[in-house]
Amino acid sequence: MIFFETYGDRLITAFQVHLFYVLTSVTIGFAIALVLGILLSRVPQYAKVIMPLLSVFQTIPGIVFIGILFLYLGMIPATVISALAVYAIFPILKNTYTGLLDIKKEYIEAAKGCGMSPFQTLLEVELPLASPSIIAGLRMSTIYTVSWAVLAAMIGLGGLGEFIYIGIASNNDQLILAGAIPSAIMAIGLSLLIDVLRRVVVPKGIRSVK
Amino acid sequence: MIRFENVKKKYGNTVILDNLSFNIEPGEFVVLIGPSGCGKTTTLKSINRLIKPDQGKIFVNGQEISQVNPVKLRRKIGYVIQQIGLFPNMTIEQNIGVVPKRLKYEKKEIQKITRDLMEMVDMSFEEYAHKYPSELSGGQQQRIGVLRALAASPPIVLMDEPFGALDPMTRATLQKEIGKLHKKLNKTIVFVTHDMNEALDLADKIIFMEQGKIVQMATPEEMLANPASPLIRDFMRKSSLATDPLNLTAADFMSANVISVQKKKSIRECTDIMARQHIDSLVIKNEDETYAGVVTIKDIKKHGKSSGTIGEIEPYQNITSDILENAKDSFDKLYNSGDNYVVVLNNDQTVAGIISKTSMATAMADTLWGDMQ
Amino acid sequence: MDASIILEHLYLVVMTVIFSVVVGLPIGVLAYLKPAGRKIVLWSVEILQTIPALALLGLIIIALGPGKMTVISGLVLYSLLPIVHNTCVGLENVDNGIKEAGKGMGLTQLDRLISVEIPLAFPMIFTGIRIATVTTVGVAVFATSVGGGGLGKIIYQGIRTQNINLIVSGTVSLMIMAVLFDVLMIWINRRLAKGAHNKAF
């Protein structure tokens, strides 16, 4: 209890900052990933080369991106957000792409046969059918981003990582937990929220057919 | 209504459509038939520009279709495919309304169309309109598939083996329904099938294709009377012979694809085979390939050991039938014995095949409603 | 940068993966055998994954004191999810007919698992191990914050001293390591799958 009297306010601010980083970067990442995923699914012959290259970049630890961007952009939130957004892209992109490619040919043919334009086919048939996969990618990205956002504190930009870094430096397990538990709660909370979103977005007719 | 002028199509070096020319009159029910790879589906799909020919011209309603926007063209041509292709994310009503919605019909009107169409195939609007495709049986789904093609009352409807994936009962019903719909709505229908019975039943005109060429284009009566090639005669014979059940023997009904092992096979191998093939019994043969009996998974369990050979287990003496025995006699045996199948033996007592209850039902349906592939 | 740091990183990764398999595989099998506990097990490993890696390592260090083995145990916790998940789901997906045949032959549950179900689920289980390995290569960077060494040391040093060469050399070594693991393990999985195929037919 004493702990909360001392750190309560800072913890709430840190939580908000952390959430802000996560939401902004996941939103940006999602938008980019969706567009890229759709574009790549139109040219699978190139995507076959591009996707593995992207997955290699995915192996670069987040800390490196933040570190390098920090050198060039300095200590501003944009550094953190753009680094996190880059990380949020890949799982969503991959799931969008495979989700779109996995759609059975017959639906596309039926859509064409019904006189749907390519854009209408995408909007009304392909994206709804790929939505379970896309949302699963979003969920994964969000959970990762909550975890990576801890790194903001490494360059002095706050968030729940602050508690964790200070805690590690001072060997104070209370402080580490004060950073870790809210961050885990945030990850779980957001993934529950996405489960709700899933129920709204994924059309009823395909919910049982995973 | 639809006219092909010297249409050619190649995939690599294979000629798919070889200088095809023909004419389809308004209101005609035309069936494209032929062996697989003959170009019938390619012909169909080039009418709504799902496939683009290399050379030649196709006219629909007097217009050369390569000059027409494909999206606009397709909205005036109904299209039904074998895989049904109802959009699983849309309700039945939304599926039927796909084209009218795009042609900017009023909401009320779309609902009325949906209701009327569903009535025509005896499906209750109240019960089904708000269901999703996955909640319907295959036959119901394909009915909706046909209705979707009709919804914007296109003058032309293309059907690509629409009933090929349905069971024979449902197929027969839907064939009847489509015949009725055609008479009632007076559409031009182009219909692809590999089933001659279906063609004879439905068509005003049959186009028989082989290797990208038309071998014969004629009314069903004419084609029956004067088939233009041995292949056509063969197609016809298959469909008419099958309807004479008196001459059938066990050989006509058996499945030759029977899994049998010799006595010297190890029990472990046998259970492996059974697991892989999803079967619960094996036909056992003597050294000289003659029939010895049947061993079931139960027998193996009773035996207890998984070592040793299958020959150590006393095989069950399943009922057998001679290959030239009348089919009806074989069926009677099967029904009276309580065994799951009849083992059909050649004259030299080697195994020729089996007739199971399912293969019997399939074969009977086959006889009644035509070639099931 | 010398080779010893790469070896140090490699050591962390390999040890982590070995222990993850030793711990994760039985948990996955248990989760498969006891459907009642399955949800709880899968949920717990997922929760572990939501805790930031850095925090997890920090806590374990405080609990167990610094040292390589403590770093490794933290990384193990973090890489359990793909292994447990893929083991459980892979076993569930084994064809029912095959499971039944095993029962029919009178094999015990253990015998069935070892001689039939695990071999058939192995490609999926191995994929889980591969994902865990590649992830661990990246996550092990945090080891340095808690005195575990490895390539993270180089990268942190680069960031602190604003030395881009140091950052890049650390990162590139890391990427190469991750890609090599990935490619190698995909290749092994294919070989194994082929072997299983040949044996069965």
CATH superfamily name and code, B2-245: P-loop containing nucleotide triphosphate hydrolases (3.40.50.300)
Q: Quick check: helix, strand or coil at residue B104?
A: coil
Q: How far is C57 from chain A (nearest CA, A)?
A: 9
Average pLDDT of span B254-279: 81
Highest mean pLDDT: which of B254-258, B311-315, C106-110? B311-315
Concatenated DSSP letters of chain A: -HHHHHHHHHHHHHHHHHHHHHHHHHHHHHHHHHHHHHHHHH-HHHHHHHHHHHHHHTTS-HHHHHHHHHHHH-SSHHHHHHHHHHHHHHHHHHHHHHHHHTS-HHHHHHHHHTT--HHHIIIIIIHHHHHHHHHHHHHHHHHHHHHHGGGGGGGT--STHHHHHHHHHHT-HHHHHHHHHHHHHHHHHHHHHHHHHHHHHS-GGGTS--
In sequence order, which residues have a C-beta less than 8 Å from that of residue A90 and are 6 or more positions away? A33, A54, A55, A57, A58, A141
Tokens (6 digits) for B127: 């019960």
Which residue does chain C place closest to B304, by CA atoms? C106
Question: What separation in angstroms does the CA of B236 have from each of A63, B233, B289, B371, C145?
Answer: 74, 5, 38, 11, 81
How many domains does chain C contain in total?
1
Q: Which partners does chain B have (≥3 C-beta pairs < 8 Å)?
A: A, C
- Identify whether the C-beta of residue C46 lies closer than 8 Å to the C-beta of residue C88: no
Instruction: Please report, rounded to a whole number, the percentage of residues in chain B having pLDDT higher than 90.
Output: 38
Query: Over C5-58, what HEC string results?
Result: HHHHHHHHHHHHHHHHHHHHHHHHHHHHHCHHHHHHHHHHHHHHHHCCHHHHHH
CA distance B168 to B368: 9
Is residue B8's pLDDT more than 60?
Answer: yes
| Contact status, residue A92 vs residue A75, Cβ threshold 8 Å | no
Work out the percent of chain B whose per-residue pLDDT is above 70: 94
Rounded to whole angstroms, how far apart are CA atoms A69 and A80? 8
Q: Which residue of C103, C105, C107 is the best one to mutate when testing the B interface, meaning the one whose CB has the most B CBs within 10 A?
A: C105
Q: Which residue of B has its CA nearest to A123?
A: B89
Fold of B250-369: CBS-domain (3.10.580)
Average pLDDT value for residue range B142-157? 92
Question: Tokens standing for C190?
Answer: 């294919």
Q: Residue C159 is part of which domain span?
A: 3-200
Half-sphere exposure of B133 (CA within 13 A, CB side): 23
- At B217 the pLDDT is 95
Half-sphere exposure of B359 (CA within 13 A, CB side): 22
What's the pLDDT at C201? 34
- pLDDT at position B242 is 47
Across A92-106, B74-88, B252-266, the highest mean pLDDT is recorded for A92-106
Mind listing the pLDDT tens digit of every residue in chain C (201 residues)? 678 888 989 999 999 999 999 999 999 999 999 888 888 988 888 888 888 888 888 888 778 877 788 889 888 988 898 999 999 999 988 877 777 766 666 677 787 888 778 888 888 999 999 989 988 998 888 888 777 788 888 888 888 888 888 888 888 888 899 889 989 998 988 887 665 544 433
> Each residue of B11-33: pLDDT tens digit?
888 899 999 999 999 999 999 99
Give the whole-number percent of chain A exceeding pLDDT 90: 43
Give the model's confidence band at A210: pLDDT under 50 very low, under 70 low, under 90 confident, else very high.
very low
CATH classification of the domain holding C9: 1.10.3720.10
- Output the pLDDT for position B116: 92
Judge: A114–B98 Cβ closer than 8 Å, yes or no: yes
What is chain B's mean pLDDT, rounded? 86
Q: Which two tokens stand for residue B42?
A: 């390619």
For chain B, the residue count is 373
Contacts of residue A71 in chain C, CB cutoff 8 Å?
159, 162, 164
The lowest-confidence range among B95-99, B270-274, C16-20, C81-85 is B270-274
Q: Quick one: pLDDT at residue B369?
A: 61
* Residue appearing with tokens 């572990």: C48
> Rounded to an integer, what distance in angstroms lies between the CA atom of residue A14 and that of residue A21?
11
Give chain C positions within 8 Å (CB) of A148: 52
Residue whose token pair is 């854009």:
A119
Place of tokens 């049986």: B137
Tokens of B347: 């004259």
Average pLDDT along chain A:
88
| Strand blocks (E) in B194-303 | 205-210, 213-218, 260-262, 281-285, 291-296
User: Which residue has 């298959």 as its token pair?
Assistant: B238
CA distance B123 to B119: 6
Q: ipTM above 0.95?
A: no
Query: What per-residue confidence (pLDDT) applies to A203?
Result: 84
Q: What residue of A is the nearest CA neighbor of B74?
A: A115
Q: Which domains does chain A have, with CATH numbers?
A: 2-206 (1.10.3720.10)
Task: Please compute the mean of the pLDDT values over residues A139-160 and round it to a whole number.
Answer: 88
Q: What per-residue confidence (pLDDT) applies to A55?
A: 81
* Rg for chain B, CA atoms, rounded: 26
Q: Do residue C62 and residue A173 have CB atoms under 8 angstroms apart?
A: yes
Tens-digit pLDDT profile for residues A30-55: 999 999 999 999 998 898 888 888 88
Contact (CB<8Å) C47/A184: yes
Residue range B277-303: mean pLDDT, rounded: 85
Chains that touch C (3 or more CB pairs under 8 A): A, B
Element containing residue B193 per DSSP (H, E): strand B188-193
Over range B45-70, report the average pLDDT. 92
Tell me what the mean pLDDT of segment A187-192 comes to.
Answer: 91
Condensed to tens digits (0 to 9), the pLDDT of residues A172-186 reads 888 888 888 899 899
Pairwise CB contact (< 8 Å): A168 & C50: no
Q: What is the DSSP string of C150-190?
A: SHHHHHHHHHHTT-HHHHHHHHHHHHHHHHHHHHHHHHHHH
**CA–CA distance, B113 with B244 (Å, rounded to integer):** 43
B262: Cα separation from own chain's centroid: 36
The answer, for C89 touching chain A at a CB cutoff of 8 Å, is no
For residues A59-88, give the mean pLDDT.
84
Chain A residue with CA closest to B130: the answer is A205
Please tell me the predicted confidence (pLDDT) of residue C93: 85
Lowest mean pLDDT, pick from A162-171, B58-67, B141-150, B208-217:
A162-171
Q: How far apart are CA A23 and CA A142, in angstroms?
A: 8
Looking at residue B372, its pLDDT comes to: 44
Q: Could you give the dihedral angle defined by the CA atoms of residues A48, A53, A54 and A56, in that order, rounded to the nearest 10 degrees?
A: 130
- Separation in Å, CA B34 to CA B137, B211, B214: 29, 9, 9
User: How is chain B split into domains, by residue range?
Assistant: 2-245, 250-369
